[in-house]
Structure 1
Amino acid sequence: MRFTGKWLVAAVAILMLLPRTGWAFNTTTGGEFTDIAGHWAKPPIEKIHAIGLVKGFPDHTFRPNQPVSCLEAITVMLNAAGYSDQIAKLKRAKNAPPSPYPVPWGQNYMDFAVQQKFIPAAMLQNFQSHRAITRAELAAIIANTFYLTAPDAVGYTDGDSIPPDYLPAVQAVSKNGLMSGYPDGSFRPQGQVARGELAAILSKLYDQGWINLDPKRKITGWIARINQVKNGTEIELNSIYGTVKVLADANCKCYYQGQLMDLKQAVNYRVEGILDSRRRAAYLELLERRTFSPVRQEVYASYLRLAEGEPVVLTVKDLMNNEVDYPIAWDASVIDEKAKGKTTGKDLLKKLKVDQFVKLGVTSGGEVKDITILDVKTITGKVASLDRKLRLESKTSNSKKYVPDEFWGWDSGRLVDKDGEEISKIEVGDNVKIYYIGEPFYERVLQIQKQ
């Protein structure tokens, strides 16, 4: 069969628009884009590429200034919102009429978006999949797909030129910091959207938590070491939940405040990273450097609960029976005394049980810098005397193991009843259970429980 020049041109054009579930046709997931050096959207392009929402062209270009078509915008936003699996399961009945909005690829995406009313009605009139999408149309698709609203109006100098049907969406994406106006205060609703701009919008959606990424592909913590190993460059990440080691992709991007950094300079920086499909670090964003704030106070307390967030907040009951919230520093260390400091790979915080005793190292700013899970011992007995020391009635034992029966500074410990409620005093003759730590003859009382 002989192909004409026109046929070849048409075939190439179709291939360039053929992202079944991606954004641009290219089976290559690694490597460098050759045309984004110096482009303002380089960091978000590389971030979104690491996530897998965008792909380049066969010639290893990204073409950041190329306009985005209507169909490209629809498919990428549906993928970003997490609808790809649901769309992949859609099946058309054999006798079903043809779609009222036929497209050259991604028909399921188009039909799903129409069914869910993600595409504004005005855009569906004389719909052309290959036409460059306008800023107002993209705003509407984003607002509809992610169900964004704007409680307050946003004013633009060209607000009168924004079609009324699109105005709520424009205000929603503006209030959520996804699309902004130009220096002259205009929004330019009819302006085209370039691929670099769309990458920047997707990056903001990801940063704000709108794009769901498999948690196994995310890494957080602070970089303790960068090691050269047999398989490449290894990154050792520490956090309050333990230590993780990952290999870096050969083209791993590392940014701090929008500036590209050498990975070797990232030690002691707090980082949020994205792993590629091979579970290798593909993109790292450095957030802040460690300050090494010194511990000013040691607090003994019992664990109550942990609140995930930024920062993580630890709630404890101190030895005065006060419930106190402490923010945990992102570079705090967690040590289990029973494990003799071996914490690598262990999520110790989430294994804490209510009323388990800990020692907190607190900075002058009230932030927890280190957490020690204490190796607490207990002893029961009857109080024989109370003065500067508490003495228990002696018990006859043939064991050669040391068992304390005198506790100095006992009154610095917490006093509770058998239900754990605070009491004001104990007396000679009371049966008690004493919780203590420390070496023989240097025991420290944490709690005395009246039985």
Structure 2
Amino acid sequence: MSGRKTRKASIVFLTIILILAFGSTQVMAAGFTDITATKYDWARPYIEKMNLLGVVKGVTETTYGPDDSVTREQLITMLVRLMGWESQATGKSLPSTFPKANSVAPWARGYVAVAVEKGIVSDEDLENFRPADAATRSEVAVFAVKAIGLGQEAESRENLNASLTFNDGYLIELKARPYIEIAVEKGIMKGFPDGSFKPNDKVTRAQIATVLHNITKLEKTNNIMVQGVVKNVDSTLLPSFDLKLGDGSSKTYTVDTNTLIYKEDADGNLTSAQLKDIKSGDTVNIIASRNTAQYVEVAYGKQATIVEDEDEDEDEDKVIKGIIRGVNISANVLTIENQDNDKYESYNIASDVKIRRDGTTSDIYKLMIGDTAAVTVTDGKIVRIEAETATKEIMGVITDITFISKNPTITIEDEDGKENDYELDKNATIRKNSRSADVSDLKIGDEVKLTLEYGVGTRVVATSTKQDISGTVKAVTLADINSVTVIDDKGREHILTITRDTEITKDRKQIDVTDIRPNYYVDIEAENDEAISIDVTVRSVKETIRGTVVNINEDVKVIVISIKNDDGTKSTQHVYYTSDTILYKENREVRISRIAEGDEVICIGSYEGGLFFADTVHDLTISD
């Protein structure tokens, strides 16, 4: 009999422990019966998360409808909820200018009205909203990018060629391309394994949960989630963990049988985990009901070093350089991967923090996970942040290409005339003139758009500058790099490189660079400063005289010029002109009266009977 009492007492004690450990009330998460195992395991974490955040709801009390298409009005509703604007939608009416307002479902009108106010629904979408139409992947990208405040950034890229590499990129409308480009850059959306984007495919309710989850990793959304760094984990007596919050305080959250725990992998996907998988130093995002965690999301990466305010030297500032790995705006905490020790460190953000991003004054809302940054910490709080976009684009002209270092380095001159060197990743994608290319195809003078990721070039889109030059050969240089100097028909000098691939012909026959002579007349097709083809035309041999005008006698039609000889001495040359002689000044045909003493000129012509007669005279002096 005493044995039965002992067993009964043990059961009662165990029951008390379980109640203390897990709580007497179960918290239901999504609980949708149609999110079946195996088929929807990939979407389950995101649906559960968005459901707990109140962003997505079921089509019935027990079903989610994962394969149903998301309508445009549903998409807008989800985005408005996600961004924390639901309270603004309550009782809000569509503007009087909104076309066919009655076509929007009554429950969605307030949300759409907020979206119009925020600029998410604008332009063609405002003129023809089509609320009940299924949203396409392209439309999701556009609305999402606008929702996170990057609509103007997308508009600024409309005149540029979006660097999309999807094999079905031709199906993407031009106006949508920059939005999709940004959505891909920010990790909101990505392509399919076959290399396509499928812009016109309808988005299912299962897929949209994933997109919404990706957005939460970038921007301030609603403030239900709590972010912090795990201090201690108790997975035995009272399943729980202690969390250091952004304000420096600590709080304990219990875990029960209904708590959903997921861990992020290297690809950003969430996989099921248990309390024992959470370690001290992990950065976590949680959704809680009072002190009970309903949802726990463990961020991928190395563990953070918990920095306590009392350990800081109050009189000393320190600058930490690295990559931003987390920004919790509601809790005012930033997590940075310190490049000196490869550790994740979390710090409180001072209320008067000064922030600059990409060289301009910014704010905390524009900081992105993945930005490189230098943060200044004073008294345990971040007082200054200098951040740069992890992915940025450089526009300019190639002025040099070197192969001295391990990877090629290209020098680009931007529109302000500043030159900077950029190392190319060994697997960098290179396209030139709309075709796949190699680094060896890049030439000095190419116009380029270079995509940088953490300061290293990962994509180069180059366009060669082509020109046709006709003129007289001034000199031919035969050296390690062969070149030809040509004075064109307007007196401008061009120095062009001749390569082994340069095609040189004379009288329709192939000739070598050694057969080109000064005073030959040539037609050159050039790419940047490299001659692609040279056609030598048989013409009477012309001479070129360059010097400074010292006198003009219009009665006998002679120009006396001073010439500097190769040995440094000077001599004078009489240049005769006739009514057929063409005179140029500042690339325009002029009369002889426009040429004055002291002007520098180039005279092209020939000798007859010992006298030099000019066919053209080019005045190189620029007038004030």
Structure 1 length-normalised TM: 0.54
Superposed counterparts of 1:123-272, under 5 Å: 123-124=125-126, 127-148=129-150, 149=153, 153-214=163-224, 217-226=226-235, 228-229=237-238, 233-237=239-243, 241=248, 243-248=250-255, 250-256=257-263, 257=265, 258-268=270-280, 270-272=282-284
Q: Distance in 1 between matches of 2:59 and 2:144?
A: 25
Q: 1:157 to 1:122 in 2, by over 3 A?
A: farther
Shift of 1:305: 4.1
Shift of 1:326: 8.2
Q: Distance in 2 between matches of 1:302 and 1:112?
A: 45
Which residue of 276, 301, 316 corresponds with 2:288?
Answer: 276
Shift of 1:70: 0.9
> Partner of 1:112 in structure 2?
114
Q: Distance in 1 between matches of 2:169 and 2:241?
A: 49
How far does the alpha carbon of each residue in 1:83-122 deviate from its partner, in whole angstroms, 9 at most, with x for none? 22333363679xx688632212221222332344422544
Conserved in 1, the CA contact under 8 Å of 2:71 and 2:135? yes
Shift of 1:68: 0.6
3-state secondary structure, aligned to 1:113: helix
> Partner of 1:369 in structure 2?
none
3-state secondary structure, aligned to 2:295: strand
Q: Distance in 2 between matches of 1:114 and 1:75?
A: 12
Q: Which runs of 5+ in 2 are unaligned?
A: 1-26, 306-310, 321-332, 348-376, 382-624
Superposed counterparts of 1:400-415, under 5 Å: none
Identity of aligned residues (%): 24
Conserved in 1, the CA contact under 8 Å of 2:230 and 2:279? no
Structure 2 length-normalised TM: 0.40
Q: Distance in 1 between matches of 2:304 and 2:291?
A: 31
Shift of 1:180: 1.4
Q: Distance in 2 between matches of 1:289 and 1:146?
A: 25
Superposed counterparts of 1:262-411, under 5 Å: 262-268=274-280, 270-287=282-299, 303-305=315-317, 309-311=334-336
Conserved in 2, the CA contact under 8 Å of 1:275 and 1:282? yes
Superposed counterparts of 1:416-435, under 5 Å: none
Shift of 1:162: 1.3
Shift of 1:81: 2.3
Conserved in 1, the CA contact under 8 Å of 2:336 and 2:345? yes
Q: Distance in 1 between matches of 2:260 and 2:28?
A: 14
Shift of 1:211: 2.2
Shift of 1:193: 0.4
Q: Distance in 2 between matches of 1:134 and 1:110?
A: 18
3-state secondary structure, aligned to 2:145: helix
Shift of 1:278: 3.9
Q: 1:42 to 1:222 in 2, by over 3 A?
A: farther
3-state secondary structure, aligned to 2:63: coil
| Greater RCO (CA < 8 Å, at least 6 residues apart) | 1
Counterpart residue identity of residue 193, structure 1: V
Q: 1:197 to 1:211 in 2, by over 3 A?
A: same
Conserved in 2, the CA contact under 8 Å of 1:67 and 1:195? yes
More displaced stretch, 131-140 vs 119-128: 119-128
Shift of 1:261: 1.8
Conserved in 1, the CA contact under 8 Å of 2:183 and 2:189? yes
Shift of 1:75: 0.9
Q: Distance in 1 between matches of 2:312 and 2:227?
A: 34
Q: Which runs of 5+ in 1 are unaligned?
A: 1-27, 294-298, 314-324, 333-348, 354-451
Instruction: Determine which structure has the larger strand proportion and give its number.
Output: 2
Q: Distance in 1 between matches of 2:303 and 2:165?
A: 41
Q: 1:146 to 1:154 in 2, by over 3 A?
A: same
Conserved in 2, the CA contact under 8 Å of 1:218 and 1:275? no
How far does the alpha carbon of each residue in 1:326-378 deviate from its partner, in whole angstroms, 9 at most, with x for none? 8876599xxxxxxxxxxxxxxxx99769xxxxxxxxxxxxxxxxxxxxxxxxx
> Partner of 2:457 in structure 1?
none
Shift of 1:74: 0.9
Q: Distance in 1 between matches of 2:70 and 2:379?
A: 48
Q: 1:164 to 1:290 in 2, by over 3 A?
A: closer
Q: Distance in 1 between matches of 2:277 and 2:224?
A: 28
Q: 1:234 to 1:326 in 2, by over 3 A?
A: closer
Conserved in 2, the CA contact under 8 Å of 1:101 and 1:110? no
> Partner of 2:62 in structure 1?
60
Shift of 1:237: 3.3
Conserved in 1, the CA contact under 8 Å of 2:145 and 2:179? yes
Q: Distance in 2 between matches of 1:122 and 1:59?
A: 35
Q: 1:121 to 1:281 in 2, by over 3 A?
A: same
Bigger radius of gyration among the two = 2
Conserved in 2, the CA contact under 8 Å of 1:226 and 1:267? no
> Partner of 2:87 in structure 1?
85
What is the root-mean-square deviation in Å for CA atoms of aligned residues?
4.0
Q: 1:65 to 1:236 in 2, by over 3 A?
A: same
Shift of 1:184: 2.4
Shift of 1:139: 1.3
